[in-house]
Amino acid sequence: MEIIIVILSSFVIAFISPLIYRIFKHLTGWVLSLVPLALFIYFATYLPQICAEECRTFAFVYHWVPSFGIDLSFYLDGIALIFSLIITLIGAFVVLYGGEYLRNHQHINRFFMYIFLFMGSMIGVVLSSNLITIFIFWELTSFSSYLLIGFNNERAESRYAALQALLITGIGGLALLAGFILLGQMGGSYEITELLTRGHLIRAHSFYLPALILILIGAFTKSAQVPFHFWLPSAMEAPTPVSTYLHSATMVKAGVYLLARLNPMLGDTQAWHDIITIAGTLTMLVGALIAVSQTDLKKILAYTTISALGMLMLLVGVGTVLAIKAAMVFLLVHSLYKGGLFMVAGAIDHSAGTRDITRLSGLWRMMPLVTIAAALAAFSMSGFPPLLGFVGKELIYSAKLQAPNASVILLISGIIANAVNVAAAMMTGIRPFWGKTHHAKCKHIHKVHTALWLGPMLMALLGLIFGLIPNLISMPLISPAVSSITGSQVVFNLQTWHGINLVFLFSIITFILGLMFFFSRNRWRKISTYLMFLKPLYPSQIYEKGLHGLLSLAKWQTKVLQNGYQRFYLITIVCFIVLMGGIQLVRLGGLPDSISFAGVKSFEIGLVLLMALAALAAILSKKRIAAVVSLGVLGYGVALIFVLFGAPDLAMTQILIETLTVIIFVLVIYHLPSFKNFSHRGVRIRDAIISVLAGIMMTFFVLLSINLQLAPTISAYYDENSVILAHGRNIVNVILVDFRGLDTMGEITVLAVAAIGVFALLKLKSKDH
């Protein structure tokens, strides 16, 4: 039961945070960060239960839409726990950091609201065990990321970046929904707990491939894999706390989480391994190569995040127990050091005013504590021995060594990516701090507030502690997570030092390569300028062109269809009906053979003939008033037909309406231009053909419908109980008022709106000019 409270609590806090801000002003950061801390402790209490041998899980179900089998069901197991711990821990630091970082921003209360909205939806994604609920929270994360990226909305770039992120993750979300529905069809239910047992059924199903591709699109767009990666660097427009939280630690990992969660059902097929591994390696390499040539602190971190995500995807793709273990450890490590480095970058930006690493140097005198935190995080990122990063890297290399196929390529690309990691760590974590401080380059540097360095320091320390004693996290955290993904019971322990062996050799190579990358970074920047000619191929350009293309298509289509010509609308409508009706008529074998003229009386034929003549006269008349008069004759003819076929009500209404139309016509005619023939012969012939066709088609329909007995006529129903139920013998009125009262209500409202429309048009127009 408490899981619902946990999820709802962050949403509730989100909506009252502006109020809390008004009370606590600058201390809100500290106060509000207690909430995620409390959630962290709450989740930590599950650690002992989760890691016990039988790995008990906790579920809560609330039936939301039973007819579709969608219910808000939540399910806490190993992987859900590790993610929620990361989310809540980093959430606490981010809220604390954000409170200080955006201290004098005028919309800071909105910041808290959006952050908690995001945290709630992120926990929702991680905990829910119904596919549709996952999708809902998934879309909520995209939504809150849109709000957060576009936080300082007065800048055009952040609005553009926010929209770009929303569109791409949105499209991914749609694909994901389609994939989930297919998956639901295959597995028979939307509940993950049930789907877990039906893995073989799903894999053999014909829908398997489309569902897989759709879900992968959803995951890849969210985790910024290669073709869809460009929204992440541009999302750096968001304030740094947002980048720390969403775009490095939690949101972008949702894709990895999803694939890990669906691994028991969809995994272990050739398609699964190939696609994910290829995408992962590609992303890893692309992210790494671009990262080297960047100059902006946050851009470097963004691209290295993309490369790290690629690495995670790759490990999930490989799918062996060792690879999953490496992925989990790396997940934790990456969140810690990347979060720390982002916060450091924020601190530098906040105090030194610039993020351009070429101009930053010798900051250690101004902010010693930040320097220590940055150094620790950087060493963890580059995989220096005592830190958890080293453990992670070792595991990754050993996992790649034992990868079933193409392990050599994986290994090489892994080494390159890690080398770039080392270089990036040097560039962001260490270079800006040592060296002489030349004041000319950066304007005055003011002291860094405690909140700004507390977050990165704690995270870096955690990295160090976990590095030194890995068993702290291996038993309670990593093994249950791995067992829930691979579906088999796995218990193992980690140690920092495996001794000198092949894997350690690779670490040294990586380290040396990294240093080379670092010292040759200027040359890399020149090389990247040469690659400019490839620009049109960049996915961001394709996105750009696609968007413009879509907009221009929409503009063109509206111009064509809505060109303001009333006659054009009529023609399109009539032609469409004639076409559709005609095809259907031909298909159903044309006219019914039995057209009997038995019951028709002579004067009825005469009347109908007269009406036809009147209609013709209305068309051919030279003067507008003559046309109106002949229309009048047509109207009275129709009224007469109503009488001849026993409908006095209708006849009365027809007569009244006929006369009132004449009255309104007369009032309006005075302003209408006289009947100059605007259209030349061709147009008139075309119109004639269309109208004749429509006429013929309509007569066919009427003839067909006479002897077509679709359903027992409803008049029988109204007949016998119009008196009993509604105490009225005049069935027409009884229907109008009682049985279908709501329709009449609608009709008179429509009438009222029409009258107000006319009134507005006439009255307001005459006033202003």
Partner 1 sequence: MIIERAAYISMVIMTISLFIAFLRLVKGPSTPDRIVALDLITMLTLGMILAYCMLTGQFVYLNTTIILALITFLGTVAYARYLEKRVL
Partner 2 sequence: MRSLILRTAARQLLPIFIIISIIIMLRGHNAPGGGFIGGLIAASAYILYDIAYGVVDARRVLRMDPLYLIGLGLACALGSGIPSFLIDSPFTAQEWITFTIPFYGKFAVTSPLVFDLGVYLTVIGVLLTIVFSLAEE
Summarize as ranges the residues that interact with partner 1 (CB under 8 A): 601-603, 606-607, 610, 613-614, 617, 623, 625-626, 629-630, 632-633, 636, 639-640, 643-644, 646, 648, 651-652, 655-656, 658-659, 662-663, 666-667, 669-670
Q: Which is nearer to partner 1, 571 or 615 (CB)?
A: 615
Query: What's the DSSP call for residue 563?
Result: -
Judged by CB under 8 A, the residue of 157, 194, 274, 649 near partner 2 is 649
Give the whole-angstrom CA distance, residue 378 versus residue 371: 10
| Cα 309 from Cα 284, distance rounded (Å) | 7
Of residues 547 and 616, the one with the C-beta less far from partner 1: 616
Q: Which position among 440, 595, 667, 716 is part of the footprint of partner 2 (CB under 8 A)? A: 667
Please name which of 599, 595, 575 lies closest in space to residue 704, comparing C-alpha atoms.
Answer: 595
Residue 476 C-beta-side C-alpha neighbours within 13 Å: 13
- Report if residue 659 touches partner 2, rule: CB under 8 A: yes
Based on the shown chain and the rule CB under 8 A, indicate whether residue 167 belongs to the binding site for partner 2. Answer: no
Binding part of the chain for partner 2, among 524-532, 578-586, 596-604, 744-752 by CB under 8 A, reads 744-752
Among 241, 762, 767, 769, indicate the residue that binds partner 2 (CB under 8 A).
Answer: 762
With CB under 5 to 8 Å by kind, the binding choice for 751 among partner 1, partner 2, none is partner 2
| Least separation in angstroms between CB 651 and partner 2 | 9
The H or E element containing residue 64 is strand 58-65
Cross-strand bridge partners of residue 130: 191
CB 231 within 8 A of CB 255: no
Position among 531, 573, 657, 685 found at the interface with partner 2 (CB under 8 A): 657
Q: 29-33: which pairs have CB atoms within 8 A and are 24 or more residues apart?
A: 29/95, 29/96, 29/97, 29/98, 29/99, 29/100, 29/451, 30/96, 30/99, 30/451, 32/95, 32/99, 32/112, 32/116, 33/92, 33/93, 33/95, 33/96, 33/99
**How far is CA 125 from each of CA 260, 298, 305, 425, 436, rounded to the nearest angstrom?**
13, 27, 21, 31, 47
405 touches partner 2 by CB under 8 A: no
Shortest Cβ 596–partner 1 spacing (Å): 21
Among the listed residues 516, 580, 714, 745, the single contact to partner 2 using CB under 8 A = 745
**Do the beta carbons of residue 492 and residue 479 sit within 8 Å?**
yes
Q: Which does 662 bind (CB under 5 to 8 A by kind): partner 1, partner 2, none?
A: partner 1
Give the residues across from 63 on adjacent strands. Answer: 71
Taking the least distance from each CB to partner 1, the nearer of 574 and 662 is 662
Task: Please tell me the distance from the alpha carbon of residue 276 to that of residue 65, in angstroms, as a whole number.
Answer: 33
Cβ-based nearer residue to partner 2, 541 or 715: 715
Closer of 601 and 765 to partner 2 (Cβ): 765
- If binding is defined by CB under 8 A, does position 676 make contact with partner 2? no
Residue 730 interacting with partner 2 (CB under 8 A)? yes
- If one asks whether residue 644 binds partner 2 (CB under 8 A), the answer comes out as no
Q: Does 49 bind partner 2 (CB under 8 A)?
A: no
Of 211, 188, 192, 227, whose CA–CA distance to 269 is shortest? 211
DSSP class per residue in 598-636: TT--HHHHHHHHHHHHHHHHHHH-SSHHHHHHHHHHHHH
Per rule CB under 8 A, is residue 652 in the interface with partner 2? yes
When CB distances are held under 5 to 8 angstroms depending on the partner's kind, the choice from partner 2, partner 1, none that residue 737 binds is: partner 2
- Piece of 155-163, 364-372, 551-559, 727-735 that binds partner 2 (CB under 8 A): 727-735
What minimum distance in Å lies between the beta carbon of 665 and partner 2?
10
**Which of residues 79 and 634 has its CB atom nearest to partner 1 in the complex?**
634
Nearer to partner 2, 409 or 660 (CB): 660
Sequence-distant (≥ 6) Cβ neighbours of residue 497 within 8 angstroms: 385
For residue 634, is it left (φ>0), alpha (ψ between -120 and 50) or beta? alpha
Surface-to-core class of residue 457, CB atoms within 10 Å of its CB (0-12 exposed, 13-18 middle, 19+ buried): buried
Of all helices (H) and strands (E), which one includes residue 52?
Answer: none
List contacts with partner 2 (CB under 8 A): 648-649, 652-653, 656-657, 659-660, 663-664, 667-668, 671, 726-730, 732-734, 736-738, 741-742, 744-745, 748-749, 751-752, 754-756, 758-759, 762-763, 766
